[in-house]
A and B are shown apart, each in its own frame.
Chain A
Amino acid sequence: MMFSPDNLQAIWLTLRLATTATLLLLLIGTPLAWWLARTHSWLRGPVAAIVALPLVLPPTVLGFYLLLALAPAGPIGQLTGALGLGSLAFTFEGLVIGSILYSLPFVVQPIQNAFHAMGDGPLEVAATFGAGPWQRFFTVAIPLARPGFISGSILGFAHTVGEFGVVLMIGGNIPGETRVVSVQIYEQVEALQFGEAHWLAGSMVVFSFLVLLIVYGSIRRHAITGMRFGS
Chain B
Amino acid sequence: MRADLQPRIPTVQAPGILQARIFYTMAQPAGGRFQLDLDAEIPAAGITCVFGASGSGKTTLLRCLAGLDRPQAARLTVDGEVWQDENHFMATHLRRIGYVFQDSSLLPHLSARRNLHYGRDPGDGADTADAVKLLGIEHLLDKFPRQLSGGERQRVALARALLSKPRLLLLDEPLSALDVARKQELLPYLQNLPDELDCPIVYVTHSPDEVARLAAHVLVLDHGKCVASGSVTELMVSRRLPVNAAGESGVVLETTIAGHDADWNLAEAAYADGRMLIPDPGVAMGGLVRLRILARDISLSHAEEAHSSILNRLPATVERIEESPDTAMCMVHLRVGESTRLLSRVSRKSSRRLGLAPGSEIYAEIKSVAILQ
Interface residues, chain A, CB within 8 Å of chain B?
121-122, 124-133, 135-136, 139-140, 143-144
Contacts and interface: CB of A to CB of B under 8 A. Distances in A.
B108 A128 contact: no
Contact of B93 (A121, A131, A143): A131
B113 to A, nearest CB: 14
A128 B104 contact: no
A163 to B, nearest CB: 34
B109 A128 contact: no
B121 to A, nearest CB: 10
For chain B, which range describes its interface: under 10, 10 to 19, 20 to 34, or 35 or more residues? 20 to 34
Nearest to B161: A128
A129 B114 CA distance: 12
A130 B93 contact: yes
A125 B119 contact: no
A124 B100 CA distance: 11
Given A126-B118, A130-B93, A135-B119, 7 more contacts: A121-B104, A125-B99, A125-B105, A125-B107, A128-B98, A129-B164, A132-B91
A124 B104 CA distance: 11
Contacts of B120: 129-130
B109 A144 contact: yes
B177 interface: no
A128 B97 contact: yes
B119 A131 contact: yes
B111 interface: no
Contacts of B191: none
Pick the 7 closest A-B CB pairs, nearest first.
A128-B99, A127-B92, A130-B119, A129-B119, A131-B119, A127-B93, A143-B109
A131 to B, nearest CB: 5
10 contacts: A122-B109, A127-B68, A127-B92, A128-B66, A128-B68, A128-B97, A131-B93, A131-B119, A133-B93, A140-B109
Given A140-B107, A144-B109, A126 B101 contact: no
B160 interface: yes
B107 to A, nearest CB: 6
A122 B93 contact: no
Contact of B68 (A124, A139, A143, A144): A124
Contacts of B97: 128
B96 interface: yes
Nearest to B105: A125
B106 A125 contact: yes
A130 B116 CA distance: 12
B93 A144 contact: no
Nearest to A118: B108
A125 B161 CA distance: 11
A132 B93 contact: yes
Nearest to A144: B109
A129 B118 contact: yes
A128 B120 CA distance: 11
Nearest to A135: B119
Contacts of A130: 93-94, 96, 119-120, 164
A124 B109 contact: no
Interface centre among A130, A136, A139, A140 (most CB of B within 10 A): A130
A138 B67 CA distance: 21
Contacts of B101: 121, 125
A121 B104 CA distance: 8
Interface centre among A129, A131, A143 (most CB of B within 10 A): A129
A36 B107 CA distance: 23
A124 B92 contact: yes
Contacts of A127: 67-68, 91-93
Nearest to B115: A129
Contacts of B93: 126-133, 136
Nearest to B67: A127
Interface centre among A128, A132, A143 (most CB of B within 10 A): A128
A125 B93 CA distance: 10
A172 B231 CA distance: 82
Contacts of A133: 93
Interface in B103-160: 104-109, 118-120, 160
Contacts of A125: 99, 101, 104-107
Contacts of B92: 124, 127-128
Nearest to A120: B68
Interface string B60-101: 000000111000000000000000000000011110111101
A135 B94 CA distance: 13
